[in-house]
Chain A
Amino acid sequence: MYNLEGKVAIVTGAGRRRGLGRSIALRLAGEGADVIVSDLCHRPEQLPEYCPVADWEQLESVAGEVQGWGRRALAVNADVTKNQDVEMIMAKAMESFGRIDILVSNASVEIAGPVVEYPEAAWDVVMAVNVKGCFLCCKAAARQMIGQGKRGKIIIIAAQEAKTAMPHLAAYSASKFALIGFTQALALELAPYRINVNAVCPGTIDTDFGAQRFAREAEAAGISVEEAKARIVQARIPVGRVGKVEDVAKVVVWLASPESDYMTGQAINVTGGQEAH
């Protein structure tokens, strides 16, 4: 469709079989890009069991799927909250592929809980992964893109909660709101270099990340997960269904293509009509 032949893309947080990162990586590969996929392949200490994490097997399998599309791929085990890991991702990308054209900053965690009981350590983890991780990846990738002197595309995966927060998700919501401000500022800084920076705000999407939320809502209401899902769809999603990872990947890949060359600083909702801001 878009012809991204010759382009090299990095997708962070791509190490889960049902995840958004994988779907984005595969769509980019389908459009002709070579893809580096990264993730943290173990569970950080403060992250509760319900928050999905990647493992090396799944991450490697995603890289294998990229290769299945006839594209080159690399899997990198990296912690986006650590600058040396982020620089390592970029170094490996340059070593293997010689350029970076597209960055999809997708790595993200969620720890739920009311503010009045929220542990500091949980706050720090959410902010570190979601915000600082994004900053570090964008900084490193942008430096490389500027040096290359060609166009570039940075796509930041925020969330619907970047526009409308949810109770018990104050840290997560605040971290995602932060990404909107960051997207705008970075877009203005990188515009002279013709590097487009945009955010995507997925809504209720069928991933492990989404599933754990349905599970928690179902438990709280004393109903089945299916019932919880149906209630959410009925009450809040105009298009009448939960989103698929492909629905979000479609928008990401458009933003990675020359079709969106005149768009920057935006935060596009992909929520089936749930979010209006």
Chain B
Amino acid sequence: MYNLEGKVAIVTGAGRPRGIGRSIALRLAQEGADMVVGDICRPLESLPHHPVGMRQGLEALVEEIRGLGRRALAVKVDVTQKGEVEAMVRQAVEELGRVDILVNNAGATFGEPPTLEMGEEIWDKTFAINMKGTFLCSVAVAREMIKRGEGGKIVNVASQAGKWAGLNIPRPVDAPPGPGLPRLALGLAAYSASKAAIISFTRYFAIEMGPFKINVNAVCPGWVETDPIIDGFTVAAQGLGLTYEQLRDIIVANTIPLGRVETPEDVANLVLFLSSSEADFMTGQAINITGGTEMH
């Protein structure tokens, strides 16, 4: 469809089998790009049960990409560590020759307690992975792009949560009169703030990168059925005496105009567009891909 032959793309946080990162990497590869896929490949020390991408997942992805006839590299990288990020970029350039596209997809949400009870560690960890990771990768890759002088594309995976404050479930058009669904306390204060930070950073960095023909944009997905989302909503559902599927179906019916949950492919379609020359005149944007739930 797009022809990204000859381009090299880095996608962080690509190591989970049901993840957005994996979907993005596969789509870019299908369109002709050679891929560098990274993930942390070890549990988070203080949050050992939090889903992370592991070496197995990355290597399976690399296999799939090579099966498409593209070159692929798996990199173990903690995006919060400057040294590891710089090593990843160096490896990309040494082994694949260049970097044209960076997708900052590595991100975490920790199923936070209400803010009044939130410890510093969850706050710091959320910001470190989501915002600082985006910053470190963007800078390392941009330096390389500027050196080569042929421009590039940076796409940051933010979130609808960076724009919207709380699950305000609107009344469907044909609903009978009544109080509507309860407000869900989803424990997303740090996550939302970190995603809003990514959006703000995207706007500013785009202005700086303009003269170098590097476009910087963000995508704001809604409810994508990945493991962290399923985990978080399962907990919320239990609190309401529902199964995950029941809560999901209620929320879809009442809040998602296009009538279904989002797939990783929906996100990948938009990321691909923003990674291509079709989006040459767009930069500094934070584009919603939410099935109509987010308008701002």
Interface residues of A (CB under 8 A from B): 1-2, 184, 187-189, 191-192, 194, 196, 203, 237-240, 243-244, 247-248, 250-251, 254, 259-266, 268-273, 276
Contact = CB atoms under 8 A, between A and B. Distances in A.
B291 interface: yes
Contacts of A189: 173
18 contacts: A1-B1, A187-B292, A189-B173, A196-B258, A238-B210, A238-B283, A239-B210, A250-B281, A259-B273, A262-B266, A262-B290, A264-B257, A268-B282, A268-B285, A269-B282, A270-B282, A272-B283, A273-B206
B295 A184 contact: yes
Contacts of B263: 262
A189 B292 CA distance: 11
Given A265-B292, A273-B206, A243 B262 contact: no
Contacts of A261: 258, 266
Contact of B288 (A196, A240, A263): A263
Contacts of A237: 210
B207 interface: yes
A191 B292 contact: yes
Report, nearest first, the 8 A-B pairs whose CB atoms are least far apart: A238-B210, A191-B257, A247-B281, A262-B266, A273-B283, A264-B292, A250-B278, A273-B284
Interface in B248-295: 257-259, 262-263, 266, 269-270, 272-273, 278-285, 287-292, 295
Contacts of B192: none
Interface size class of B (residues with CB under 8 A): 35 or more
Interface of B: 1-2, 173, 203, 206-207, 209-211, 213, 215, 257-259, 262-263, 266, 269-270, 272-273, 278-285, 287-292, 295
B259 A191 contact: yes
Contacts, number: 103
Contacts of A270: 281-282
B287 A240 contact: no
Given A259-B269, A266-B287, A276-B203, A239 B279 contact: no
Given A188-B292, A264-B292, A273 B207 contact: yes
Given A191-B259, A247-B281, A264-B258, 4 more contacts: A196-B258, A240-B210, A264-B257, A276-B203
Contacts of A272: 210, 281-283
Nearest to A249: B278
B204 to A, nearest CB: 9
Contact of A238 (B207, B257, B280): B207
Contacts of B173: 188-189
A183 to B, nearest CB: 9
Give the residue among B211, B213, B279, B295 with the most A Cβ atoms within 10 A.
B295
A262 B291 contact: yes
A134 B284 CA distance: 28
